[in-house]
């Protein structure tokens, strides 16, 4: 599959009174046409900063992109000025934000907010844009769109507002859609509807989606591939099956183990001890070492490179080094791996 | 788990006036019991009245109607200061937002000891200090933390402070209103493990309010599902997950995303359509299976009974 977006060795820092906060410390990944890449991680792991950097939305100062490039179909977005970026935002690259309550303009009719991008990027006339706005609202499943475009955001419920935000994001058929926790503020039943809607629209429009979330259940639902971030770096990258059924990084083990599954009983949840490191002074070695029960001496001294597990699967942990001792992942993770070995292997192919 | 009732909620109603002629029936006729030593989970979507229920039980709101019996005594109704104090000591609450529920101008020691002061549980300054340090250690913090202010702590640590504050007065019953939903996944597990450990050590009874169904299933012995101010189903947590009967419960369960890609690919979702209910009579809360209660009409009751087999 062809790559639509490539991120190479991206570093983003923020200058604060306390010093330089290294929020993103060398992130590289590629996004293919029509796929959904999920980025998971805790708050402060740099997932939102990464995507803001892609959109050119890092406030500078205090932020700055120290190093690295973001190639959208070969063109480096980090080298563009604001005017060039404005032509790309909303047209080739658009974003859905977490909170539908605050990402819409409360003083503007919903229809006008959708038409804005169409008029600017696609040079439509107002009447054409209005027609298209009605179609878009219909597409995202809002009943009675003709009347609804003349209403204000406060007249919509949370789930309906998020549908409007999606309609705005998809208005100009973007090549890449970045969804930053689009369902976190919504109830589970509404969340399920929105996820369904996004997948459905993706099939129709062939948009590539970067989906940021901390909810592993949502990841399992939407993602083709998954990047796990910790302390400003990607620590594991693979297909959704790789990550859920054959995880290699101890942090991924911790994340998976700390979620209860509906069928397990009584056993204590596997909790990752401690808290994430302070990115003002990131540790010299593996940032996860201090919370990692499998940490070795080398983890404190040197950052692990990416080790290749399979064609699609990479993990940055010294445990994969040929000289590393064999370790047993936590019990709940072993169960996952076993289940996969028994049943998953045969079904793995049809998701490619 | 004993079968002794600690809290009995009888036809509890909480209505809010929102205008001259409009009333929001946030909680509208709730009846359930909480047994000694168990964790009762209350789930539902935002706006279903689950938080209002918790707050009304502990009398942060005065109930519009109905009663809450704690150890056989009514919590609501006319009470003097001393009588109120007695309940306040036995019932405590842990709040959702660890950033908003701690006074930023008080030291951790003063926050935790406030209950001790009010109820006169510490003999002198030294006893007070010792008790606070003991509590901090119970919840996994250091005694050096006592002199710091809330802003110096992370979300997970703050929630631990909130738990220490609730434990300070040796309560029997703790209402935890979404205690983990503001926390990161890895920290959630720490806090849930702590709550479970404390329950065993101190024989606590919990009312655990949440919308994250997989966590509720994990921590609760029994679960009540709320929809628009009413309970639609109450059952043992295993029974509820294996055998959900009310269509709303089914739709809620079918919507939880699970961290399992294979399951997600084949998942079937149900939408709840309230208009599909039998409307020939007012639905009532009926026991369909042992300990499994569902809000239903006689016709639906017969139908649910058949489905058990």
Nearest Cβ partner for A262 among B157, B258, B262: B258
pLDDT at site A1: 64
pLDDT at site A339: 67
pLDDT at site B91: 92
Query: Average pLDDT of A23-35?
Result: 91
Cis peptide before A62 (omega within 30 of 0): yes
Q: Does residue A69 fall inside a structural domain? A: yes
- Residues in B whose CB is inside 8 Å of some CB of A read 45-46, 154, 156-157, 184-190, 192-193, 196, 211, 213-215, 217-218, 241, 251-252, 254-265, 267, 269, 271-272
pLDDT at site B169: 92
Please indicate whether, in this complex, the C-beta atoms of A260 and B259 are within 8 angstroms of each other. Answer: no
**pTM above threshold 0.90:** no
Q: Does residue A268 fall inside a structural domain? A: no
pLDDT at site B86: 84
CA torsion sign for B45, B51, B56, B62 is negative
pLDDT at site A326: 80
Query: Average pLDDT of B170-175?
Result: 93
Query: Average pLDDT of A91-101?
Result: 85
Count: domains in chain A: 1
pLDDT digit string (tens) for A265-308?
Answer: 556 777 788 778 888 888 888 888 888 888 888 887 888 888 88
Question: Residue A10 pLDDT > 50, yes or no?
Answer: yes
Check if the interface score ipTM surpasses 0.85.
no
Query: Average pLDDT of B124-128?
Result: 92
Tell me the average pLDDT of chain B.
88
**Backbone φ, ψ for residue A223 (5° rounding):** -85, 145
Which CATH number does the domain B5-102+166-235 belong to among 3.40.309.10, 3.40.470.10, 3.40.109.10, 3.40.50.300? 3.40.50.300
Chain B contact present for A180, CB below 8 A? no
pLDDT at site A229: 93
Own/partner long-range contacts of A126-134 (Cβ < 8 Å, ≥24 apart): A132/A171, A133/A167, A133/A171
Q: Does residue A319 fall inside a structural domain? A: yes
Question: Residue A338 pLDDT > 80, yes or no?
Answer: no
Q: Which of A180-184, A347-351, B42-46, B82-86 has the lowest mean pLDDT?
A: A347-351
Enclosing domain of residue A188: 1-92+174-262+276-352
Query: Least CA distance to B196: which residue of chain A?
Result: A268
Using 50, 70 and 90 to split pLDDT, how confident is the model at B116?
very high
Ranges for all domains in chain B classified under CATH 3.40.50.300: 5-102+166-235
Q: Which helix (H) or strand (E) holds A294?
A: none
Tell me the average pLDDT of chain A.
85
pLDDT at site A351: 41
Share above pLDDT 90 across residues of chain B, in percent, rounded to a whole number: 38
Check which CATH number belongs to the domain holding A334 and give it: 3.40.50.300
Q: Does residue A150 fall inside a structural domain? A: no
Chain B contact present for A209, CB below 8 A? no
Q: Which helix (H) or strand (E) holds A151?
A: none
Question: Residue B186 pLDDT > 80, yes or no?
Answer: no
pLDDT digit string (tens) for A45-70?
Answer: 888 889 889 888 888 888 889 889 99
Please indicate whether, in this complex, the C-beta atoms of A187 and B188 are within 8 angstroms of each other. Answer: no
Helix (H, G, I), strand (E, B) or coil at A334: helix
Please indicate whether, in this complex, the C-beta atoms of A191 and B257 are within 8 angstroms of each other. Answer: yes
Question: Residue B205 pLDDT > 90, yes or no?
Answer: yes
B72/B8 Cα distance (integer angstroms): 8
B24/B15 Cα distance (integer angstroms): 6
A85/B48 Cα distance (integer angstroms): 44
List of residues 6+ apart from B206 with CB closer than 8 A: B38, B39, B40, B173, B174, B175, B176, B195, B199, B219
Chain B contact present for A212, CB below 8 A? no
Chain B contact present for A300, CB below 8 A? no
Share above pLDDT 70 across residues of chain B, in percent, rounded to a whole number: 99
pLDDT at site A263: 65
Query: Least CA distance to B265: which residue of chain A?
Result: A221
Contact indicator for A163, A178 with CB cutoff of 8 Å: no
Q: Does residue A143 fall inside a structural domain? A: no
Q: Which of A35-39, B2-6, B216-220 has the lowest mean pLDDT?
A: B2-6
Question: Residue A80 pLDDT > 60, yes or no?
Answer: yes
Question: Residue B182 pLDDT > 80, yes or no?
Answer: no
Cross-strand bridge partners of residue B230: B227
Using 50, 70 and 90 to split pLDDT, how confident is the model at B1?
low
pLDDT digit string (tens) for B220-264?
Answer: 999 999 998 899 999 999 899 889 999 999 998 888 888 888 888
Please indicate whether, in this complex, the C-beta atoms of B255 and A189 are within 8 angstroms of each other. Answer: yes
Contact indicator for A235, B153 with CB cutoff of 8 Å: no
A244/A264 Cα distance (integer angstroms): 16
């Amino acid at each position: 599959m062809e790559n639509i977006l490539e991120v190479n060795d991206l570093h983003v820092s923020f200058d604060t009174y306390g010093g330089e906060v290294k929020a993103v410390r060398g992130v590289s990944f590629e996004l293919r046409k029509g796929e959904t890449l999920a980025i998971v991680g805790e708050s402060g792991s740099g997932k939102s900063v990464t995507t803001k950097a892609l959109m050119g939305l890092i406030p500078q100062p205090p932020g700055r992109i120290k190093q690295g490039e973001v190639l959208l179909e070969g063109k480096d977005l980090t080298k563009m000025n604001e005017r060039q970026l404005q032509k790309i935002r909303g047209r080739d690259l658009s974003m859905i934000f977490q909170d539908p309550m605050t990402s819409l303009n409360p003083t503007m009719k919903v229809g006008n907010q959708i038409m804005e991008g169409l008029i600017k990027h696609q040079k439509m006339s107002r009447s054409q844009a209005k027609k298209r706005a009605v179609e878009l609202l219909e597409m995202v499943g809002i009943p009675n769109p003709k009347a609804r475009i003349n209403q204000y955001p406060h007249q919509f419920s949370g789930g309906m507002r998020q549908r409007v935000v999606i309609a705005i994001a998809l208005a100009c058929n973007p090549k890449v859609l970045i969804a930053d926790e689009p369902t976190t503020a919504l109830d589970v039943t509404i969340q399920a509807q929105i996820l369904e809607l996004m997948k459905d629209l993706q099939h129709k429009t062939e948009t590539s989606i970067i989906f940021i979330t901390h909810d592993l259940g949502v990841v399992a639902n939407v993602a083709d591939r998954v990047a796990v971030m910790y302390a400003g770096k990607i620590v594991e990258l693979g297909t959704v099956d790789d990550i859920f059924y054959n995880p290699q990084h101890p942090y991924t083990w911790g994340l998976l183990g700390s979620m209860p599954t509906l069928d397990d009983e009584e056993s204590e949840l596997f909790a990752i001890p401690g808290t994430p490191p302070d990115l003002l002074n990131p540790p010299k070695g593996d940032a996860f070492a201090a919370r990692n029960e499998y940490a070795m001496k080398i983890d404190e001294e040197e950052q692990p490179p990416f080790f290749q597990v399979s064609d699609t699967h990479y993990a940055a942990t010294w445990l994969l080094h040929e000289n590393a001792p064999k370790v047993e992942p936590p019990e709940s993770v072993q169960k996952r791996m076993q289940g996969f070995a028994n049943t998953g292997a045969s079904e793995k192919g049809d998701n490619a | 788990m004993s079968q002794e009732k600690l809290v009995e909620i009888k036809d509890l109603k909480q209505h809010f006036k929102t205008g001259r002629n409009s009333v929001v029936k946030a909680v509208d006729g709730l009846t359930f019991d909480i047994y000694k030593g168990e964790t009762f989970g209350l789930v539902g979507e935002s706006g279903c009245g689950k938080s209002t229920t918790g707050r009304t039980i502990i009398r942060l709101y005065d109930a519009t109607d109905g009663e809450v019996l704690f150890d056989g005594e009514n919590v609501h109704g006319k009470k003097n200061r001393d009588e109120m104090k007695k309940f306040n000591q036995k019932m405590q609450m842990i709040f959702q937002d660890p950033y908003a529920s701690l006074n930023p101008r008080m030291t951790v020691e003063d926050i935790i000891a406030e209950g001790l002061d009010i109820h006169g549980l510490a003999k002198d300054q030294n006893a007070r200090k010792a008790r606070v340090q003991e509590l901090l250690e119970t919840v996994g913090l250091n005694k050096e933390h006592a002199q710091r202010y809330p802003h110096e702590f992370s979300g997970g640590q703050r929630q631990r402070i909130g738990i220490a504050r609730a434990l300070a007065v040796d309560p029997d019953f703790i209402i935890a209103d979404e205690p983990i939903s503001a926390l990161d996944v890895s920290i959630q597990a720490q806090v849930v493990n702590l709550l479970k450990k404390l329950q065993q050590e101190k024989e606590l009874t919990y009312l655990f309010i949440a919308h994250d169904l997989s966590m509720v299933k994990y921590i609760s012995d029994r679960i009540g599902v709320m929809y628009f101010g009413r309970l639609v189903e109450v059952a043992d947590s295993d029974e509820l997950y294996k055998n959900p009967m009310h269509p709303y419960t089914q739709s809620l369960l079918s919507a939880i995303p699970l961290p399992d890609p294979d399951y997600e690919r084949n998942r079937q979702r149900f939408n709840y359509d309230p208009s599909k209910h039998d409307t020939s009579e007012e639905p009532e809360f009926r026991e369909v299976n042992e300990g499994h209660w569902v809000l239903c009409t006689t016709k639906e009751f017969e139908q649910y009974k058949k489905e058990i087999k």
